[in-house]
Amino acid sequence: QSALTQPVSVSGSPGQSITISCTGTAKDVGGYNYVSWYRHHPGKAPKLMIYDVSNRPSGVSNRFSGSKSGNTASLTISGLQAEDEGDYYCSSYTSFSTYVFGTGTKVTVL
């Protein structure tokens, strides 16, 4: 099971919007509406940001939104803030009843 493909890094200035892409196949991202996104600071517990493609857990800012088209999912962060920095990973349930993460994207606020 190959990792989903994400850009290595994305950056933006405070207040701007950025979008992180996540490309898989019809056996994972394209086949199910079970894409989720996590923010991770190394050594800390990852935090769930989006689940089921576009749902936000309680307590997550509405500046975070998710979408999907075909085999590619996207996470958009609007009104970028310094606290949004971190490593972001997409993930998907797969046709093998397993789970796969993306390669990870480092978000930097300039």
Partner 1 sequence: EVQLEESGGGLVQPGGSLRVSCETSGFSFNDYAMSWVRQAPGKGLEWVSAISFSGGYTYYADSVKGRFTISRDNSKNTLYLQMNSLRAEDTAIYYCAKAGRGTTSVFYMDVWGEGTTVTVSS
Q: What's the distance, Cα to Cα, between the start and end of the chain in Å?
A: 35
Q: Token pair 């480092």 is at which residue?
A: 106
Closer of 18 and 88 to partner 1 (Cβ)? 88
Residues that bind partner 1 (CB under 8 A): 1, 3, 34, 36, 38, 40, 42-48, 51-52, 57, 87, 89, 91, 93, 97-104
Half-sphere exposure of 35 (CA within 13 A, CB side): 30
Closer of 77 and 104 to partner 1 (Cβ)? 104
Closer of 1 and 16 to partner 1 (Cβ)? 1
CB of 100 to partner 1, least distance (A): 6
Residues 6+ apart with CB under 8 A from 69: none
